[in-house]
Amino acid sequence: MYKTQSRPSRSSSPKRKSFGGGNKFRNRPKNGGNPRFSNGKRGGNRRNFSKPVKLDISTFINKAASTEQEEEKFIPDNSFAELSIDVNLKNNILEKNYQEMTPIQDKTIPPILQEKDIVGLANTGTGKTAAFLIPLINKILLNRAEQVIILAPTRELAIQIEEELRSFTENMRIYSTVCVGGTPIYKQIKKLQRPNQFIIGTPGRVMDLMKRKILKLNDIKTIVLDEADRMLDMGFINDMRFIISEMPKERHTLFFSATMSPTIEGLINEFLENPINISVKTQDTSKNINQDVIRLEGRDKLKVLGELLSNPEFSKVLVFGRTKHGVERLSKRLSKQGFKTESIHGNKSHGQRQMSLKRFKGDNVQTLIATDVVARGLDINDVSHVINYDLPETYDDYVHRIGRTGRANKTGTALTFVD
């Protein structure tokens, strides 16, 4: 068995003040500190991997709440069946077996239907994508001339948003284009020359298309900034400002983030007009995740990982490394040991990344070795374990990494290697 360190169970974190009314957001302290944003330019916020990460190891240890513990069940004020939306859209929602709304859906769908600006603060895996897609699809159905642009930090998340969009709009003749890097731009240019109700993309590629005069936003009056904190962390702040500056001043803006910082608060004040502030973030990590550390104590790190992966309960494992080369090297070494492994990182082409993700989602491989490119937003079913082979840089990075397990009321395990 692997060596771990435990401490008494804590079933929940202290409740944090919900931010309602005005834009006075309370800063949440982070063990790893806030990332530095050097100059606001993409690539300007390069992380120094040579310096050791200083994080409180105790934050990586927490027992999942017992399923036998009684907890207050969330009772939504609204239901999908009773929403005042297009009947075909409603039927598609119900056919997807959407029954009760999650908290973020319950609190955001009604005001978005009323075209209110929204700031949503919610944990990952809370149904946020459906929360903004459903009312925006209805908006398009009411007026086919409307268009929506959705910005996401990574190509994987942008593609996932479009996949969910298609599932809601089957047989509705609603068209979309995904504008992301890593794929031939000429194909996106060709699709943009046809009518599109939804444009979903990463800031860098959207900027490229705008500079080429292919994509014009002067008539697009609705924008979604999804995972805004991650886009900021990746250095997209100037791109975000430019994109919004090209849109009409009278617009509908939806802003979603998992974390809040002074810089994020500043963007909210800059981009949104009297937004409704909604926080359904109850604690940093899901109550369904067992968190523990693996103390190496001089043991070979790769050997310890191999021993873990040899256990039958490690059925679908997401392993996080810090660098592209390190992730690829680890994947090859595990493959040589006979483990079914894929890797995903920034040096892989778009097609290669999608194929690796598809094989992992489809249970064709046991282990996906990844950089933080897949840590945010992606919905991967039935991940049994998340292993932090390399320490994350900040506590927020840790929260997003381990959020890939313990989803849909299932219990997951997160293990972090420490020296």
102-136 per-position pLDDT tens digit: 999 999 999 999 999 999 998 667 789 999 999 99
297 plus 263 within the same structural domain? no
Mark which of 240, 258, 279 sits at the end of a domain: 279
Same domain, 261 and 306: no
300 and 386 belong to one structural domain: yes
How many domains in the chain? 2
Quick one: 263 and 364 in the same domain? no
| Shared-domain flag, residues 275 and 290 | no
Beta strand pairing status for 4-5 and 222-225? unpaired
Is residue 19 in some structural domain? no
Enclosing domain of residue 229: 80-279
pTM (2 d.p.): 0.68
In a domain, 165, yes or no: yes
Residue 59 within any structural domain of the chain:
no
The verdict on 328 and 221 lying in the same domain is no
pLDDT band at 5 (very low <50, low <70, confident <90, very high): very low
Q: Provide the CATH number for the domain around residue 305.
A: 3.40.50.300
Residues 262 and 374 in one domain: no
Report the pLDDT averaged over residues 333-345.
95
Q: Which of 279, 300, 335 is the last residue of a domain?
A: 279
**C-alpha distance from residue 236 to each of 66, 68, 153, 370 (Å):** 40, 44, 8, 22
Q: Is residue 138 one of the residues assigned to a domain?
A: yes
Residue 213: pLDDT band (50, 70, 90) is: very high
User: Is 361 part of a structural domain of the chain?
Assistant: yes
Look at residue 169 in the predicted model and tell me its pLDDT: 96
- List the one residue out of 336, 326, 327, 329 whose CA is nearest residue 306: 336
Residue 214 in tokens: 């292919």
Same-domain check for residues 400 and 364: yes
Predicted confidence at residue 379, as pLDDT, reads 74
> Would 97 be classed as within a structural domain?
yes
Same domain membership, residue 409 and residue 358? yes
182 in any annotated domain: yes
Could you tell me what percent of the chain has a pLDDT over 90?
58
Residue 259 confidence (pLDDT): 78
Q: Are residues 95 and 169 in the same domain?
A: yes
Q: Does residue 149 sit in the same domain as residue 235?
A: yes
Top-confidence range, 13-17, 116-120, 262-266: 116-120
Residue 17 lies in a domain: no
What Å distances lie between residue 154 and 88, 200, 210, 271, 350, CA to CA? Answer: 31, 11, 18, 21, 11
Look at residues 279, 300, 318 and tell me which one is the last residue of a structural domain: 279
Assess whether 84 and 189 both reside in one domain.
yes
d(CA 181, CA 87): 36
In the block, residue with structure tokens 């933080």: 372
